[in-house]
Amino acid sequence: MRILLLCLVSLLAACASHDVTPPPVAIAPQGRDHADLGVIRELATGRTLTPQQLVERLASAPRVLVGEQHDNPDHHALQLWLLRELARQRPQGSLLMEMLNPDQQTKVDAAQTATHAGQPPADPYQALSWQDSWDWSVYGALVTYALRQPYPLLSANLDRTQIMQIYKQRPPLTGQASTTKQVQATLLEDIRQSHCGLLPETQMPAMLAVQQQRDRHMAERLLAAPTPALLLAGAFHVRKDLGVPLHLEDLGADQGNAVLILAEVGKTVMAESADYVWYTAGLPEQDYCAGFGR
């Protein structure tokens, strides 16, 4: 009888999930022969997962946070693949993107409504007032796909006016997880490096406030979004030890979150930063500070 029950449980589990399609092939040119190319690792255990196993794990989470390198086309191809595969496992509740601001939401809603009515915008880039800072050539396919879906496409970032207000007058940040000295010191150092060490120290507290208020806003948007919700943002924003997950914890939602970071081969992602890492091909290294005389 026990064996029969185990067989029935296994059969039901198999019926409840769908086999995933093969992930997209590499687009970026670097690391094609790297041993870690395509490897998916569960960081808490060190186990290597198949794409099927990853999708099944993510499908059970109310909130999934996916960290990307913004200019890597492989990351956006995998995000689109992941959206499709998660929707085959269970209905998707919402998609949130760092690349969309609140002042675009009305246009996003209108474009999605028109698309559902069989009249998609001829030029989604213009219809959404897409920002030039986000390369449409790598985001366009994903956004166009999202407009066709029954679940909402939601902004996760702050407007420029909101950012400038935070910069001028730093609002208090409540909570214990996101306000530790270690978290803020690490963020400050990243801000220094990302600005090539050229920012005056007097600007650093304001820059830190902007970074953390963006993360807090993303956390609030995630909690308000229909579940299961998926957030696409830069890898630093979704880190469990620095970004949105800490703010979710401060807002009382430390459970039900799964963090996947898409990382180029050769880069290190620690268990403190994410639940899963998926290694992809990479782009040639660029010295972004070279143009600033460094």
Cis before 228 (ω within 30): yes
Distance separating alpha carbons of residues 225 and 13, to the nearest angstrom: 28
**Residue 1, domain member (yes or no):** no
CATH number reported for the structural domain that contains residue 52 in this entry: 3.40.50.11550
Using CB atoms within 10 A of its CB, is residue 63 exposed (0-12), middle (13-18) or buried (19+)?
Answer: buried
Token pair in block for residue 250: 């401060």
Return the closest-CA partner of residue 171 out of 209, 202, 217: 209
Distance separating alpha carbons of residues 59 and 256, to the nearest angstrom: 11
**Residue 152, domain member (yes or no):** yes
pLDDT for res 18: 86
Q: Total structural domains in the chain?
A: 1
DSSP state for residue 32 in the 8-state scheme: T
Q: pLDDT tens digits, residue range 12-40? A: 444 456 899 999 999 999 999 999 999 99
Token pair in block for residue 175: 């909570």
**Residue 42, domain member (yes or no):** yes
Token pair in block for residue 106: 């009305």
* Alpha carbon distance, N-terminus to C-terminus of the chain: 72
**Residue 233, domain member (yes or no):** yes
Distance separating alpha carbons of residues 116 and 15, to the nearest angstrom: 30
The chain-wide mean pLDDT, for the chain, equals 94
From 125-129, 219-223, 237-241, 284-288, the region with the lowest mean pLDDT: 284-288
Return the closest-CA partner of residue 289 out of 218, 203, 226, 199: 199
Token pair in block for residue 25: 């092939």
Token pair in block for residue 155: 């902004």
Place 8 in a pLDDT band, splitting at 50, 70 and 90.
Answer: very low
**Residue 69, domain member (yes or no):** yes
Residue with tokens 């902007």: 210
**Residue 151, domain member (yes or no):** yes
Cα angle, residue 177 at apex, residues 182 and 94 outer, rounded to 5°: 120
Q: pLDDT tens digits, residue range 124-147? A: 999 999 999 999 999 999 999 999
**Residue 15, domain member (yes or no):** no
71-110-113-58 Cα dihedral, nearest 10 degrees: 30
Distance separating alpha carbons of residues 182 and 212, to the nearest angstrom: 14
Residue 209, domain extent:
34-283
Distance separating alpha carbons of residues 135 and 138, to the nearest angstrom: 6
**Residue 288, domain member (yes or no):** no
